């Protein structure tokens, strides 16, 4: 899910001449960590 979002987000950002945010990797790690944590409960 995150990989697909990232791919399209980078494409759209490029087309609109925006920089893709550097915090993307940190947010992906945060999402995956919380998903794993919540799925164990």
- The predicted-structure confidence for 1-29, as pLDDT tens digits, reads as follows 778 888 898 899 999 999 988 777 788 88
Q: What's residue 36's pLDDT?
A: 93
Domain residue spans in the chain?
2-39
How many CB atoms neighbour CB 20 within 10 A? 13
Is this structure's pTM higher than 0.75?
A: no
CA angle 5/6/7 to nearest 5° reads 95
Pair of tokens at residue 21: 């945010």
**In this structure, what DSSP letter does residue 17 have?**
T
d(CA 37, CA 41): 7
């Amino acid at each position: 899910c995150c990989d697909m979002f990232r791919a399209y987000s980078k494409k759209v950002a490029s087309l609109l001449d925006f920089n893709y945010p550097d915090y993307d990797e940190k947010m992906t790690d945060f999402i995956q960590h919380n998903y794993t944590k919540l799925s164990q409960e």
